[in-house]
Amino acid sequence: MAPGGFDLARGGKQRHKAQRLVRKLCPTCKEMLFPATEVECRVLGVDPAAAPIIARPVGCDDCRYTGYRGRVAVCEVLRFTPEFDDAMARGATRAQLRTLAREQGFITMAEDGIAKVLLGEINIASLVRAVDMTDRL
Ligand SMILES: [Zn+2]
């Protein structure tokens, strides 16, 4: 299945869910001092001229000097609503289904991951390791 794609092959499902576990930055020692680099801005989909400050791992006693502690799920959930079922039954294209999913609040794993980077929960290196972000580069 393509990253962020829908697995429509299995009938009768109520929803599609995909998730990856991403290591969390240690809350005790993570640093939020520097803005995202140009490449990081590209991954995040933000203007480098307005680069956000993003968290970076440091290392302390609490995380055994790794800079990371615990994991958090980065996920996407697509609910097969009645509208979605109707659209599929009418033979909607992939693009039409994607638009409908968007209207119903669907966000991709990449977007969920980016939100967690911007919140300082995870860093980009960990996200890129877990979720294919190459279409953003
Ligand atoms: Zn730490």
Give residue-wise pLDDT tens across range 78-99: 888 899 889 999 999 999 999 9
Distance from Cα 47 to the centre of ligand 1, integer Å: 30
User: CB–CB of 17/49 below 8 Å?
Assistant: no
User: CB–CB of 36/51 below 8 Å?
Assistant: yes
Decide which of 15 and 55 is more confident: 55
pLDDT at site 11: 53
Please name each of the domains of the chain with its CATH number.
Answer: 15-136 (3.40.50.300)
Distance from Cα 112 to the centre of ligand 1, integer Å: 24
pLDDT at site 14: 83
User: CB–CB of 17/77 below 8 Å?
Assistant: yes
Specify the pTM.
0.81
Q: Judge whether residue 6 has pLDDT over 60.
A: no
pLDDT at site 40: 93
pLDDT at site 12: 60
Distance from Cα 92 to the centre of ligand 1, integer Å: 49
Give the helix, strand, coil percentages of the chain, each rounded to 5.
35, 20, 45
Report every protein residue that has its C-beta within 5 angstroms of ion ligand 1.
Answer: 26, 28-29, 60, 62-63
Q: What is the bridge-based pairing of β-strands 68-79 and 15-25?
A: antiparallel
